A and B are shown apart, each in its own frame.
Chain A
C-alpha cells in the first residue's frame, strides 16, 4: 500500500501534566473517511487539537507522521500549510476581523501567491451559497455573534476555500439541526476529493448517514479501543457505549491478571 496520509503511533498526550491520551494508534490513507466516536471526555478533541499543534497539549510519547513527515516538529501554521485542516468543535471569535479579510490572509499564507480580488470574492460567494449562508457573512466579524450552527457552517466554508489534504471535523454536527447536518455533510463530500483524508469526530451516528465512513473507531479513556466498519457505528447507536466499556473493562482486568 502507498504511504499513509496520516500515521499516529502510540500517542500519549498530557494537559497541565495530566495524561489524557494514553497510546492512540490510527492510520488514515488518502481518500479514506474515518469516524472517531466516543463519549464526552474520552479525548477526541484532545487528539484533534494535538494533531493541529495546540501548544497546551504536550506529547509525552509516540509519533505522528503526515505524508511521512514528523508533524510534531512542525508549528501550527506549518501543519496548515502541509495540508492539515481542523474544523473546530468550538470555533473562536476574532472581533473586528471580517471573514473575507481573514480568509484572504489565510489563503495568502497557505498558497503564497495572491488570488485576484475578484476570483476570491467569487469563490467565497460560491462557498456561502453551497452552505446556504447569505454572502453578507463575508463582511461579518469572524464568528462574532454567530449562532452555533452558523459557526459550524463557516468552518466548512473555510474548508471549501482551503481544500486541505486532511480534514479533521471535531463534532461539526453538534449545534446543527437536521437540515444543517445534511447541508454540511453534502459539502464535506463535495470538497473532499478522492485523495482527501477525512476524520469525522462525533458521538452521534446521524452525520455518518451522510458522510459514510470506511472505518469507525471508538475512543475510551484516551485510547482507541475498538475499530470496525460502518456497522460499529450502528451498533453504538442502538446499544450505547456501556457494553464497550464493560468489554474493555473485562479485557483490562484479564490483562492485569495475566500481567
Chain B
C-alpha cells in the first residue's frame, strides 16, 4: 500500500484527491485544505514545551507521512474478522477500517430502525452534512496538539460517525475497529453526536499485530452530548509494537448530560493521548476512567482535562496505571474551573502500580481554579506491589507470579467494571488479562 512522500503543493493535490474520493461537499474540502495549511505552518512540537516534555517527537519527519492512496481497497484482515466475530453477541453494530478504508460493517436491525446513523465518513457526510459541519466547526483542540490534530483532520480518510437522534436509547453497544495493514500512517477519526435525551455506548478499538516497520498514527475523537444525553465511550488501544500513536479526544457536554469515558491503553510503542471533557452547561457530569498496562519499553503519556466552564457541573476521574519491565507512563491531569463556575465538583485520582525496578511512573496533577465555591480533590500514588498482599496470597498456595498477576488484575478491575455493557466489558477484560498473563512478572 502506498505511502506518498509529500511536499507542497503535491500535498494539496492529495487533500483534494481524498476529498473527491469520499465525495465530500465543497465546504468539507475547504476544511481539509485549511487543516492541511495549519499542519504545514505549525512547527513540530518542541520537547521544551510543557505538553511535550515527556514525549519527544521532534525526530519524527511528519511532513513526509501521508495516508494511504485513496482508491486502494484493503480487505478485512482475518485476525480482525476473528476479533469481530469472536464476540458479536449482544452488539448493536460494528464498523471496521483498515489503512483508513472501510472494510466491514454490520448494524443490527433494531439499531437501524431506531434512526441511528452509524456509518463511515463518506456515507455519513452525504446523509448528515449539516450536523457534521457544525461539529467540525465547533471542534477546538488544545493548541499544544495543533500540529497533530490539524494533520489528522487533513488526512482522515476512513472514520466513523455516530449520530443518535433525539430521545433514542440504544441498548446494544456499538463498536468501531481501526487497524493498519501495510500503511505507514493512520488517521482515525470518530465523531459522536448525541441529540437531546439519547443514550449509547461506543467502543473505539485501535488495534493491530506487532508492526515490523514503524507506523505513525494521529487520531481524533469528537464527542458531542446534547441535553440529557448519556454516552459511554471506551477507547481501547492495543496497537502492535512499532506504532507511535497520538490521540486527541474532546467531549462537549450539554445540560444534564452524562459522559463516561474509559481509556484502555495496552499497546503501541509510544502512545500519547489528550482526553478532554468540557462541561459547558449546568448539570453536566463527566466520569473519566483509565487503565494502562505497560511492559517492555512501552511509553505512555496521558493528559486529561476536566474543564468546568459553568457551575453546577461535576467531573470525576480515576486513572490506574500498572507498569512492568522497562515501561514508562506519564499522567498529567488538569482540573480547570472558570471564574463564575460556582458549585462545581471536580475529583481526580491517579494510581500507579510499579511492578519492576526498571519501570517508571510520573504523575502530575494541575489545578487552575478561579471560582471560590467549589469542591475539588485530587490525589496520586506511585507504589510497588504491597509485600503483605503477596504474602497473604502465597500463604494460600499461590506462586509468586500468580499472586502478582491476581493483584494486577484486581488493581485494574474496578475501572473495567465501569464498562456497563457486558459484551464490551468481557472483551476488554479478556484482553487485559491476556496481556497480564503473558508477563513473567
Chain A residues with CB under 8 Å of chain B are 52-56, 75-77, 79-81, 85-86, 88, 91-92, 94-97, 101-103, 105-107, 109-110, 141, 158, 162
Establish whether residues B399 and A77, one from each chain, have CB atoms under 8 Å apart when the complex forms.
yes
A91 to chain B, nearest CB (A): 7
Complex Cα–Cα for A92 and B400 (A): 16
B375 to chain A, nearest CB (A): 24
Establish whether residues A97 and B395, one from each chain, have CB atoms under 8 Å apart when the complex forms.
no
Residue B332 at the A interface, CB < 8 A? Answer: no
Establish whether residues B407 and A52, one from each chain, have CB atoms under 8 Å apart when the complex forms.
no
- Nearest chain A residue, comparing its CB with the CB of B416: A96
B399: chain A residues at CB < 8 Å are: 77, 109
A92: chain B residues at CB < 8 Å are: 386, 388-389, 391-392
B409: chain A residues at CB < 8 Å are: 96-97
Complex Cα–Cα for A242 and B391 (A): 35
Chain B residues with CB under 8 Å of chain A are 386-389, 391-400, 402-403, 406-407, 409-414
Instruction: Kindly name the residue among B387, B410, B414 whose own CB sees the greatest number of chain A CB atoms within 10 A.
Output: B410
Instruction: Kindly name the residue among A85, A86, A92 whose own CB sees the greatest number of chain B CB atoms within 10 A.
Output: A92
B388: chain A residues at CB < 8 Å are: 92
A94: chain B residues at CB < 8 Å are: 389, 392-393, 406-407, 410
- Nearest chain B residue, comparing its CB with the CB of A103: B396
Establish whether residues B406 and A97, one from each chain, have CB atoms under 8 Å apart when the complex forms.
yes
Complex Cα–Cα for A41 and B31 (A): 75
B415 to chain A, nearest CB (A): 9
A141: chain B residues at CB < 8 Å are: 410
Additional A-B contacts beyond A94-B389, A105-B406 (6; CB < 8 A): A92-B389, A95-B411, A96-B412, A101-B406, A102-B393, A109-B397
Establish whether residues A80 and B387, one from each chain, have CB atoms under 8 Å apart when the complex forms.
no
Contact of B397 among A55, A56, A91, A110 (CB under 8 A): A110
Establish whether residues A86 and B393, one from each chain, have CB atoms under 8 Å apart when the complex forms.
no
Establish whether residues A105 and B402, one from each chain, have CB atoms under 8 Å apart when the complex forms.
yes
Establish whether residues A86 and B395, one from each chain, have CB atoms under 8 Å apart when the complex forms.
yes
B395: chain A residues at CB < 8 Å are: 52-53, 76-77, 79-80, 85-86, 88
Establish whether residues A97 and B407, one from each chain, have CB atoms under 8 Å apart when the complex forms.
yes
Q: What total of A-B pairs shows CB separation below 8 Å?
A: 80
Complex Cα–Cα for A95 and B397 (A): 19
Known: A97-B409, A102-B406. A77 touches B414 (CB 8 A): no
A103: chain B residues at CB < 8 Å are: 396
B393: chain A residues at CB < 8 Å are: 94, 102, 106
B400: chain A residues at CB < 8 Å are: 75, 77
Complex Cα–Cα for A106 and B399 (A): 9
Instruction: Kindly name the residue among A54, A77, A141 whose own CB sees the greatest number of chain B CB atoms within 10 A.
Output: A77
6 chain-A/chain-B pairs, Cβ below 8 angstroms = A79-B395, A80-B395, A92-B392, A97-B413, A101-B406, A109-B399
- Nearest chain B residue, comparing its CB with the CB of A101: B406
A77: chain B residues at CB < 8 Å are: 394-395, 397-400, 403
B386: chain A residues at CB < 8 Å are: 92
- Nearest chain A residue, comparing its CB with the CB of B403: A77
B397: chain A residues at CB < 8 Å are: 77, 80-81, 106-107, 109-110, 162
Complex Cα–Cα for A73 and B394 (A): 15
B389: chain A residues at CB < 8 Å are: 92, 94
Establish whether residues A76 and B391, one from each chain, have CB atoms under 8 Å apart when the complex forms.
yes
B422 to chain A, nearest CB (A): 15
A80: chain B residues at CB < 8 Å are: 394-397
Establish whether residues B414 and A162, one from each chain, have CB atoms under 8 Å apart when the complex forms.
no
Complex Cα–Cα for A81 and B395 (A): 9
A26 to chain B, nearest CB (A): 20
Complex Cα–Cα for A109 and B370 (A): 55
Complex Cα–Cα for A52 and B394 (A): 9
A120 to chain B, nearest CB (A): 15
Complex Cα–Cα for A110 and B398 (A): 8
A192 to chain B, nearest CB (A): 18
B387: chain A residues at CB < 8 Å are: 55-56
Complex Cα–Cα for A97 and B398 (A): 14
A56: chain B residues at CB < 8 Å are: 387
Complex Cα–Cα for A75 and B394 (A): 9
Complex Cα–Cα for A88 and B403 (A): 17
Contact of B413 among A53, A88, A96 (CB under 8 A): A96
Instruction: Kindly name the residue among A53, A81, A91, A94 whose own CB sees the greatest number of chain B CB atoms within 10 A.
Output: A94
B239 to chain A, nearest CB (A): 26
Known: A76-B391, A102-B393. A95 touches B414 (CB 8 A): yes
B403 to chain A, nearest CB (A): 8
B392: chain A residues at CB < 8 Å are: 88, 91-92, 94
Establish whether residues A76 and B414, one from each chain, have CB atoms under 8 Å apart when the complex forms.
no
